[in-house]
A and B are shown apart, each in its own frame.
Chain A
């Protein structure tokens, strides 16, 4: 009696285990399918960019390249003012954004975390103002101001806008990070004869390095990818950033139609730095995203 119940029990358990295994396989298959669907568009862009010019313009399009060619990259290299100009504009703006972000957010975050300033919380909320007013709405007055300051068509002007977009996040992350540095460490440094700036630069900043990496990374990605601000501020073609010149290339014709191969070569070039950063600095990226969204 007891034995038969036990046997029955073992039977259902085996059945349950079998069913669970099958569901497990099914779910794994769905996972792989999902990953394929997500990666295919990017793969298609890469493949389109290495097709010979004639094939890239083919109607209907081919799935896999019949021949390999650097035509599209050569065309992109020489397009309008030339790819080096646009790459320089994009990189320079991004690095100026990082520099501005660090110069402003690091001391501000440190001050908010360490000093008991009267009205500190009011100042903090003021610094988060850009969270409340979307920058898309502010572009008209910023453009007017920049026009009179000769900051339109200027990489510095664009970097200022990109810094302003990310500043609430950057200040917030730096403040949190400095708050987690033990005060004893700083006090010990003061006793050793460090002044306030030395304490910040030589004791606290190295400990908050992950936060510094995070805000630099987000400053770069925001600036590299930003479109509307650049569209408004940059109207001379040699001051265009990469997304702007590619958007212009989508309608400008080379041989009577859009040069699809060149356009996708442009997509590949502008995607590469983002993917590289994501792959190498994934930890910082994800932690920044989580802390930024959960505030």
Chain B
């Protein structure tokens, strides 16, 4: 009885604020609803509409493209920084702390910082690149050219989150038993041979795990796009979550927004299940 009493707040909370909204989302997704008019059942209408909605595919395609571009950068970059700083010298500890610093600040806040750095006239990125002679005139980074905007956002996010992977990779590298490394050193293996044949395989599970966490985060990306490009030009940088947001709130197409949410949740679920399988194996 006491056991249940202690669990009751948590069960009630999750029922009310996660489970029930989920049930409602499914119900709403089969209706047409604009808040002003009462909900009207439309069967699979919203899902059929999504299938032929050009912007739905543009948003989904863009989100996948963004995920495909940024994930390798974060993984390779994070791993290289981890290899560089895994030793516990005071310099390397300090460098790790600095690289990790942007992870603790908000994504919205860091996006506002980079919105300024990448701004055309007042931004320091253009100033630095002009002074170094890399560009001849100021570049309009955000919201005009899809490719340029994407790379500017990727640069800002790499700065923001690369320390997360680094931290987990360093923990994994440090947990490799010392004698394994010493044994291969005696065998005359070079540093890169040891990295490729010992370090990497022994930390592979962490690499996969961080890859999945990072991909899930990218598939759900919103803040940086809302703040830095507002989805421009022509909604070509409006990610899937952005499109859900646009439909549900500014447009008030709640049924359609719910259907899009459900599709997105299903896509992300595949990655989440993979992640859980990986983590469970480590526990057992």
Instruction: Say if the beta carbon of B197 comes within 8 Å of chain A.
Output: no
B265 touches A137 (CB 8 A): yes
* A243 vs B163: C-alpha distance when bound (angstroms): 22
How close is B243's CB to chain A, nearest CB, in angstroms? Answer: 11
Residue of A nearest to B168 (CB): A293
A260 touches B119 (CB 8 A): yes
Q: Given A267-B112, A293-B213, are A117 and B7 also a contact pair (CB < 8 Å)?
A: yes
Instruction: Say if the beta carbon of A190 comes within 8 Å of chain B.
Output: no
B269 touches A246 (CB 8 A): no
- Residues of B participating in the A interface, judged by any CB pair closer than 8 Å: 2-7, 9-11, 13-14, 17-22, 24-25, 28, 81, 84-85, 91-92, 94-95, 97-102, 104-109, 112-117, 119, 121-124, 126-127, 130, 159, 163-164, 167-168, 171, 206, 209-210, 213, 216, 220, 222-223, 226-227, 241, 244-245, 248-249, 254, 257-258, 261-262, 264-265, 268-269, 272, 276, 279, 282-283
Q: Given A140-B261, A196-B2, are A295 and B117 also a contact pair (CB < 8 Å)?
A: no
B245 touches A129 (CB 8 A): no
**CB within 8 Å of B: which A110-150 residues:** 110-112, 114-117, 123, 126-127, 129-134, 136-145
How close is B20's CB to chain A, nearest CB, in angstroms? Answer: 7
Contacting residues, chain A, for B171 (C-beta < 8 A): 290
* A180 vs B70: C-alpha distance when bound (angstroms): 39
Q: Which of A39, A163, A224, A290 contacts B106 (CB 8 A)?
A: A224
Listed by A's residue number, 19 A-B pairs whose Cβ atoms lie within 8 Å are A38-B101, A42-B113, A44-B124, A104-B9, A108-B6, A108-B7, A117-B4, A129-B22, A134-B220, A134-B265, A136-B244, A141-B28, A145-B20, A167-B10, A167-B14, A246-B109, A263-B116, A286-B167, A290-B168
B108 touches A142 (CB 8 A): no
Instruction: Say if the beta carbon of A294 comes within 8 Å of chain B.
Output: yes
B264 touches A167 (CB 8 A): no
Q: Given A263-B112, A274-B105, are A126 and B223 also a contact pair (CB < 8 Å)?
A: no
Contacting residues, chain A, for B108 (C-beta < 8 A): 225, 227, 243, 246-247
Contacting residues, chain A, for B25 (C-beta < 8 A): 137-138, 140-141
Instruction: Say if the beta carbon of A155 comes within 8 Å of chain B.
Output: no
How close is A56's CB to chain B, nearest CB, in angstroms? Answer: 8
How close is A63's CB to chain B, nearest CB, in angstroms? Answer: 7
B6 touches A110 (CB 8 A): yes
Chain A facing B: main interface SS: helix
> Chain A 258-281, CB within 8 Å of chain B: the 1/0 string?
101001101100110011011000
How close is B17's CB to chain A, nearest CB, in angstroms? Answer: 5
Q: Which of A61, A140, A263, A275 contacts B28 (CB 8 A)?
A: A140
* A104 vs B13: C-alpha distance when bound (angstroms): 8
Instruction: Say if the beta carbon of A228 comes within 8 Å of chain B.
Output: yes
How close is A248's CB to chain B, nearest CB, in angstroms? Answer: 10
Contacting residues, chain B, for A290 (C-beta < 8 A): 167-168, 171
Contacting residues, chain A, for B282 (C-beta < 8 A): 294-295
Instruction: Say if the beta carbon of A285 comes within 8 Å of chain B.
Output: yes
Contacting residues, chain B, for A274 (C-beta < 8 A): 104-106
B209 touches A293 (CB 8 A): yes
A225 touches B101 (CB 8 A): no
B91 touches A63 (CB 8 A): no
A39 touches B3 (CB 8 A): no
Q: Given A137-B264, A144-B24, are A58 and B122 also a contact pair (CB < 8 Å)?
A: yes
Instruction: Say if the beta carbon of A54 comes within 8 Å of chain B.
Output: no
How close is B190's CB to chain A, nearest CB, in angstroms? Answer: 12
Instruction: Say if the beta carbon of A103 comes within 8 Å of chain B.
Output: yes
A138-B22, A278-B100, A293-B213 known; 20 new pairs, CB 8 Å cut-off, are A45-B116, A104-B9, A107-B5, A107-B6, A108-B7, A111-B4, A115-B6, A131-B276, A133-B269, A136-B244, A141-B28, A145-B20, A160-B17, A164-B18, A221-B104, A227-B222, A232-B245, A250-B115, A260-B122, A264-B113
Q: Which of B22, B84, B117, B269 contacts A41 (CB 8 A)?
A: B117
B98 touches A133 (CB 8 A): no
* A243 vs B223: C-alpha distance when bound (angstroms): 10
B272 touches A61 (CB 8 A): no
Q: Which of A107, A116, A142, A231 contacts B9 (CB 8 A)?
A: A107
Contacting residues, chain B, for A226 (C-beta < 8 A): 106
How close is A156's CB to chain B, nearest CB, in angstroms? Answer: 12
Contacting residues, chain A, for B20 (C-beta < 8 A): 141, 145
